Chains A and B, each alone.
Chain A
Amino acid sequence: MLEGIPLFPEQASTLAPEVDNLYFFVTAVTAFFALLVVFFVIVFAVKYRDRTGEKVGAPITGSIWLELGWSIVPFLVSMAIFAWATIVFFHMVRAPDQTLEIYSTGKRWMWRFQHIDGQSEINELHVPLGRPVKVTFTSEDVLHSLFIPAFRVKADAIPGRYSSVWFTPTRTGEYHLFCAEYCGTQHSGMIGRVFVMEPNEYQAWLGGGGGMSMTARGEQLFQQLGCVSCHLTDGTGRGPSLAGKFGSQEALASGATVVVDDTYIRESILTPQMKLVAGYGPVMPTFQGLVNEEGLMSLIEYIKSLPAAAQPAVATR
C-alpha cells in the first residue's frame, strides 16, 4: 500500500546528496532526543502513577549538574549541526568558475529562461548533464522564488536585483520547477519542468532553436542605444571603457569602491548617477523604460564578453 507514497525526492544534482546527508543526520539526532524524552515521560507517568490524587511527590527541587548537562550537550550537538549546515550552505551560494550561464525572469505567472546562445523558453529549462549551470534571475513584478526540489536549490526572485542559483545536474530526466514564494492568483500555476539532457543532445537542442545569441543581442543594443559613442574601448570616451571591466574593482567618485557585477551594471544603466565612477561627470542619461529585463541581461552578457583592451583605460581627464 505504501508504494504509492513517495517519501523522498529524487537526487539530481551534486548538491542533493550533500543536503540529504545533512538531513539524515539531523533527523537521526532529533529523533534520538525526541524518543528519549517520550520514553522518560511514559516511564515516569506509568511508574509513579497515583490513582488517588492524595499522595505527594518526592521533595526534589533540582540539580545544577543535570541542568548544566542538558544545556551544554544539546548546545554542542546543535553547534555541530550548525557548522555542517553552514558549510553546505556556502557550497550552495558560491558558484564555481566556468558555469554555463542562463538568465531568467519571473513574472506573474511564468518563468522565462534565456540561454546565452539565443534560445529562450517559457516554463521549461533545458540543461546539460554534468556541467555546472548558473541561473541568474530577477522578477518583473512581485516576489517569486525559483525552486527545483530535485537539485535542492531555491532563491527568491526580487524585483530590482539579481539572484542566482547554481547546480550541476547528475541525472538525466525531467524534474519539477516551482515558484515557492507566494505571488498571487496563479501562484500554483507558476510551475515548469527542468530537462536534464546528455551534453550532445543539449547541443543539438540548442542548435535547433536559432535566434541571436545574448552577446550578439547585447552588442546590437549597445549600438542601438548609443552606448558605444561614449564608452570607447580605449578609455578616451565621455564614459569609462567597459572592456575587461566585468569582475574588477572600480573606484567611485564618492570614494567608495564597487565590484563591477551584474547588479552594478544593471544599476548603472537604469540610474547612472547613483554610483559614478571616479573621474567621470554625471552625463549619462537613464535608460529606464528603453530597455527591458532581457535587454539588460543581454547587455550584461555583452559587457562580460568584452576582452580587456590592449591599452589600459586611463581615468584621468
Chain B
Amino acid sequence: MPDGVAAHADPPASATGFGGAGHHPALQHHFQTLDQQHEAATLGMWIFLVTEVMFFGGLLMAYLLYRVWYPEAWSEGSLELDIIQGGVNTVVLIASSLTMALAVRAAQTGLQKATVRWLLVTMALGLTFLVIKFFEYKHKYDLNHIPGPDFEFEGPHAAQVQIFLSLYFGLTGLHALHMVVGFSLLAVMCWMAHRRRFSPEWYTPVELSGLYWHFVDIVWIFLFPLLYLVDRARQAG
C-alpha cells in the first residue's frame, strides 16, 4: 500500500485553513501552501514517468521476445547500425543530463542567469542528439532500410531483420519524439527563467522538466546497448 504509514507520520496538507495571508504569486487557489503544491506537482510527475515506463515497456516486450527468437537476425540488424553515431549520442545525452542537473541546481540556489545558461547548454546538446539521429535515419532511408513495402535487405534473415528495424524505428522514434517534447519544455523553462520567475522558494517547473529530461536520458541508456551493441563481438572477431 502506497505510503499508508507515511501519511500518519506526515499529516496531509496543512491545517492553516483557507485563504491564509501572504500568498506566493505562484500558489494556485486550491492548494493550501506552496509546499503542498510542490509535493503534488512532483508526485504527479513521478507518476507520469511511471506511465512512460510502461509505454516503452510494450515495445521493449516485443523487442525481448524477438531477440530470444531471432538472435541471428538481431545480430545482423544491429551490425547495420552505426556504433559511432550511437555512442556519440550516448555521450551527448548523458552530458545533457549533467547540465540539466546543474540547471536545476542553479534554480534551487537562486542563480537565475546560471539557470538560463545551463538550460541553453542542455538544449544545445539535445539538438545535437536530434541532428545526429536525423543523419542516422537518413542513412537508413538511403539504403531502403525503412521497414515497409520498400524494405530491402541483403542477408539470410531479411524478414526478421525487418522486425528488428521496425522495433529500432519504433523505439528510437518514440524516444526522439520525447526529446522534441523535452526540448520544447526546456525552451519554455529558459524563457521563464529569463523572466526571473523562479526563486529558491519556487522552482517546481524547472525541477519537473529536469525529471522528464533525465527519464529520456535513461531510456537512451537502455536503448543504446539493446540496439547498437548486439553481438558486436562477431564484428570484432
Binding site for B on A (CB under 8 A): 254, 271, 273-274, 282
Contacts and interface: CB of A to CB of B under 8 A. Distances in A.
Contacts of B70: 274
B52 interface: no
A18 to B, nearest CB: 34
Given A254-B71, A271-B159, 8 more contacts: A271-B157, A273-B72, A273-B156, A273-B157, A274-B70, A274-B72, A274-B157, A282-B156
B154 to A, nearest CB: 14
Contacts of B157: 271, 273-274
Interface in B68-121: 70-72
Interface of B: 70-72, 156-157, 159
Contacts of A274: 70, 72, 157
Nearest to A273: B156
10 contacts: A254-B71, A271-B157, A271-B159, A273-B72, A273-B156, A273-B157, A274-B70, A274-B72, A274-B157, A282-B156
Contacts, number: 10
A254 B70 CA distance: 12
A282 B159 CA distance: 17
A274 B71 CA distance: 9
A278 B157 CA distance: 19
Interface of A is mostly: loop
Contacts of A273: 72, 156-157
A121 B49 CA distance: 56
B136 to A, nearest CB: 28
A45 B157 CA distance: 69
Contacts of B159: 271
A273 B71 CA distance: 12
A274 B73 CA distance: 9
A271 B155 CA distance: 12
Nearest to B71: A254
A82 B70 CA distance: 35
Contacts of A271: 157, 159
A129 to B, nearest CB: 42
A282 B156 CA distance: 9
A274 B75 CA distance: 13
A148 B46 CA distance: 51
A284 to B, nearest CB: 10
A36 B29 CA distance: 52
A274 B76 CA distance: 13
A274 to B, nearest CB: 7
For the complex of A and B, the 6 pairs showing the least CB-CB separation, nearest first, are A273-B156, A282-B156, A273-B157, A273-B72, A274-B72, A274-B157
B158 to A, nearest CB: 10
B227 to A, nearest CB: 22
A271 B157 CA distance: 8
A280 B157 CA distance: 18
A113 B72 CA distance: 36
A254 B156 CA distance: 16
Nearest to B156: A273
Contacts of A282: 156
B156 to A, nearest CB: 4
Which of B70, B156, B159 is packed against the most chain A CB atoms within 10 Å? B156
A300 B70 CA distance: 24
Nearest to B155: A273
A271 B71 CA distance: 14
Nearest to A275: B72
Nearest to B159: A271
Contacts of B71: 254
Nearest to B73: A274
Q: Which of B70, B71, B72 has the largest number of chain A CB atoms within 10 A?
A: B72
A239 to B, nearest CB: 16
A282 B72 CA distance: 13
A274 B70 CA distance: 8
Contacts of B156: 273, 282
A286 B218 CA distance: 41
A274 B156 CA distance: 9
Contacts of A254: 71
Nearest to A254: B71
A254 B157 CA distance: 16
